[in-house]
Every structure is written in structure tokens, then in C-alpha cells.
A and B are shown apart, each in its own frame.
Chain A
Amino acid sequence: MKTCLVVDDSSVIRKVARRILEGLEFTIEEAEDGEQALDACRRRLPEAILLDWNMPKMDGYEFLRLLRRLPGGDGPKVVFCTTENDVAHIARALHAGANEYIMKPFDKEIVEAKFQEVGLI
């Protein structure tokens, strides 16, 4: 089974994402902010990361930049999942090495489509 790290400061969003991704046969790990996520990745790199943008301590963008510099950090497929729904943010995210981008609100179909798009399922 593949592992997906769900990074979001909202426990509600993490719960929704967990339910969807478990339905797609992922093992789920959770982090509340970029720092926690980075710690988790230093311990073990997941196959997939579902990543919020705005979070306390370290935001998703900063996390992504640091992740991609870790040894093997280019491995995980990173799918942003955020309310930052404008062209400028999307462009920045892709530039920093995001593989896909989900604009909230999202549902199972969108997550499934995006994970398929990057070859995770």
C-alpha cells in the first residue's frame, strides 16, 4: 500500500481527506503544519503528499521547497490542496515542484482524478 501524508491545519479537512484517500487504498499519515510534515518526511518519505498552503509555523510552499532539497525529496508526488485558487499561486506552486493542484472545495472525484493524473493510482 502507498502512503499519503496529509498536511493541513484543519482537522476536519484532514479527516475528509483521510476518508477519501483510504478509499483509494492509501495508508494515511497526518501533519498539522509544514514543520511537522518535514519531520515526518525526514523519518520516512511517503509516496504522496496532499498539501495545504496556509498553515501556522511553516506554510505549504516553504515546506515544498525544503522537501525538494532533502535527499530523495524529489520522489514524493505533491498535490497542493488549497483555497489559493488563482493563477499566480498555481504558477508558484508548480515552479516550486508541485505535481498537481487541487482548488478547494474538493471532493472524491477530484482527488481521484488528480492522483490518477500524476500516476499515483
Chain B
Amino acid sequence: MTPDDFDFLRKMLRERSGLVLAAEKQYLAESRLLPVARKYNIASLGDLVQQLRVMPNSPLAVATVEAMTTNETFFFRDKLPYDHFRDTILPALVAAHDRDKRIRIWCAAASTGQEPYSLALIIRELAQKEPALAAYRFDILATDLSGDVLERARSGIYSQFEVQRGLPIQLLLKYFSQVGETWQIAPEIRAMVQFRTLNLLNDFSPLGRFDVVFCRNVLIYFDQPTKIQVLNRIARQIAEDGYLALGAAETVVGLTDAFRPLTEKRGLYVPNPAARDLEPLAMAGGARRGM
């Protein structure tokens, strides 16, 4: 890959997924794209970039973008946001929605599904202790840029290694069945989550309003203007009494006033009513239409 090829690639990744690939990360691009080249029977990475230049909308381009994203995730990652969800968010929302009894949750970068399934497991476990919850409808929408990871998520099948990172053994025993060397999450948990491809750089206002948004460990890959515009657009999709959970290395502070951190609950943010009124209608950076 020539320096020129690498520049082209970096620009393409930034435009398509928001991923900012540092100039010194050529080795990373090469190690992740070699398997893509092999899969498409392309002799060299130089040839691969050449094809991307000629056919920017080919399946190869999609595969290239997906290969460059980091999909690492695990059940109950960082624990704390899930404690917040169970102990703070759910009780508040259940009380607030005692009339419509409907709670909408969005996992905005769901990867292979461990995040939305962790939330579904919490809801299911709580519902067994509090029968009143049975009357509620919980919609969990899980989206990601990558169709491949979502396909795995939909299957609900995880390796032995994956089910041992963060998933308490009691939950494994209760909600998974063993399929050969792998473990599959129960149909009733799978049925609680809807999976759909979605690029956060695009307009997502048609998704409607959510009470909870988990947008974890994806903003870290974006540059500052992209972080800001995505956060501001998420703010428009969150109910006034809703919650936003970010990753451990992410924050709204210094980026937008649309949310404010809950100081005593790390990683958790709520819409800022003051900012809602002040906010100009024009979207900073603006979302692309389509897709």
C-alpha cells in the first residue's frame, strides 16, 4: 500500500463510518485488510485500494469498512452502567410510564449483541421479582453499522470464551443452552431485541423517541465534530426524562450542553432542559440523509 493508498483509505473510512484512523496506523489497516483481500481474491492491498477507488459502493467497500471497525464487546461490560440501568433507570421509568406502560431502549452500536441482551436479561430477571413489570412492554432496538456483527447477534450464539466474560454463571445456566462448543441465548430473550443496521452518521430521526440510549464505545473512534453532531442528534431522540449511557472513556463534557452528567452515576447522562430550549434548529455538522 502506497502512502497515497493509505490516505485514500483513511479518508474513505472517515466519511463512511466516522472512524478516525491515525496516520501511524498503517500496520493496523494492513493486518485487518489482508483477510478481506484474500476473501475477494485480490492479490495485494494496492489492488484492493484500486478497486475501492473505482467502485466505492461495492460490497468490497462495505467489507473494508466493517473490517476496520472494532467490534469488541462483552456481557455486562464495565458492570456499572448495568447497575445504573437496574437500580436507577428502570425504577424511574417504570414509575414514569405507569400509564402507557411502554419503554423504548436503543443500543446504538450493539456489535454482536451482548449489550442489548444484557439489558434484556436484567429486565427479565427483574420482572420475575416484580410481577407488576409483566404489564409493561419493553422494546429494545439494537443497531450497528455492520451487518455481519448483527447477524451473529441475531443468532444469539456465543463461544465459551464470550459467555465467560461478564456473564454471571447463574444467568448462563438459566438463559442459555449448550450447542456443541457454543452457547445460545434463549428464544424468549432473543425475541426481546430487534436488530437493524444503521450508520450513526446518517439521519436516525425516523427511529422515534427512546427512554434509554446506550451508545457505548463507539464515539471514541470519531473525531470531535462527529462526536458533537451524533450526541446532539441523539439528544433529539431521547425523552425529556430519558437517560443516555456512554462508554467508560466517553463523555459529553466539553462537547455539548444537550446532556448533563449525573455526577453520582458515572457514565450516565440526562437531557439538559435548558439546552433543549436554547439549541438552534440547525444541526451542527448535520446528518446525511438516506441509507
Q: Is A66 an interface residue (CB 8 A)?
A: no
Shortest CB-to-CB span from A64 to chain B, Å, is: 14
Q: Are A86 and B164 in contact (CB under 8 A)?
A: no
Q: Are A113 and B166 in contact (CB under 8 A)?
A: yes
Bound-complex Cα distance A109 to B165 (A): 7
Bound-complex Cα distance A114 to B173 (A): 15
Instruction: Number of A interface residues at 8 Å Cβ cutoff, please give it.
Output: 17
Q: Are B169 and A113 in contact (CB under 8 A)?
A: no
Q: Is A84 an interface residue (CB 8 A)?
A: no
List B contacts of A110 (CB < 8 A).
161, 164-165
Q: Are B169 and A87 in contact (CB under 8 A)?
A: no
Q: Are A113 and B164 in contact (CB under 8 A)?
A: yes
List A contacts of B173 (CB < 8 A).
87, 90-91, 94
List A contacts of B164 (CB < 8 A).
102-103, 106, 110, 113-114
Bound-complex Cα distance A85 to B170 (A): 14
Bound-complex Cα distance A26 to B160 (A): 26
Q: Are B79 and A116 in contact (CB under 8 A)?
A: yes
Q: Is A32 an interface residue (CB 8 A)?
A: no
Q: Is B168 an interface residue (CB 8 A)?
A: yes
Q: Are A94 and B166 in contact (CB under 8 A)?
A: no
Bound-complex Cα distance A68 to B74 (A): 32
Bound-complex Cα distance A109 to B178 (A): 22
List A contacts of B94 (CB < 8 A).
none
Bound-complex Cα distance A85 to B181 (A): 9
List B contacts of A114 (CB < 8 A).
164, 169
Max count, chain A CB within 10 A of own CB: residue among B74, B165, B169, B177: B169
Bound-complex Cα distance A36 to B66 (A): 52
Residue of A nearest to B79 (CB): A116
Residue of A nearest to B164 (CB): A110
Given A113-B166, A116-B79: A90 and B161 within 8 A (CB)?
A: no
List A contacts of B63 (CB < 8 A).
none
List B contacts of A90 (CB < 8 A).
169, 172-173
Residue of B nearest to A93 (CB): B169
Q: Is A100 an interface residue (CB 8 A)?
A: yes
Residue of B nearest to A90 (CB): B173
Residue of A nearest to B177 (CB): A87
Interface of chain B residues 102 through 154 with chain A (CB within 8 A): none
Residue of B nearest to A103 (CB): B160
Shortest CB-to-CB span from B121 to chain A, Å, is: 14
Q: Is A101 an interface residue (CB 8 A)?
A: yes
Q: Are A94 and B178 in contact (CB under 8 A)?
A: no
Bound-complex Cα distance A113 to B178 (A): 21
Give the residue of A102, A103, A117 whose beta carbon is less than 8 angstroms from that of B168. Answer: A117
Chain B interface (Cβ within 8 Å of chain A)? 74, 79, 160-161, 164-166, 168-170, 172-173, 177-178
The 10 closest A-B pairs by CB, nearest first: A101-B169, A110-B164, A113-B165, A100-B169, A103-B160, A90-B173, A117-B168, A113-B166, A87-B178, A91-B173
Apart from A109-B165, A117-B168, list 4 A-B contacts with CB within 8 A: A103-B164, A110-B165, A117-B166, A117-B169
Of the A-B pairs whose beta carbons lie under 8 Å apart in the complex, a sample of 5, sorted by A's number, is A101-B169, A102-B164, A103-B164, A110-B165, A116-B79
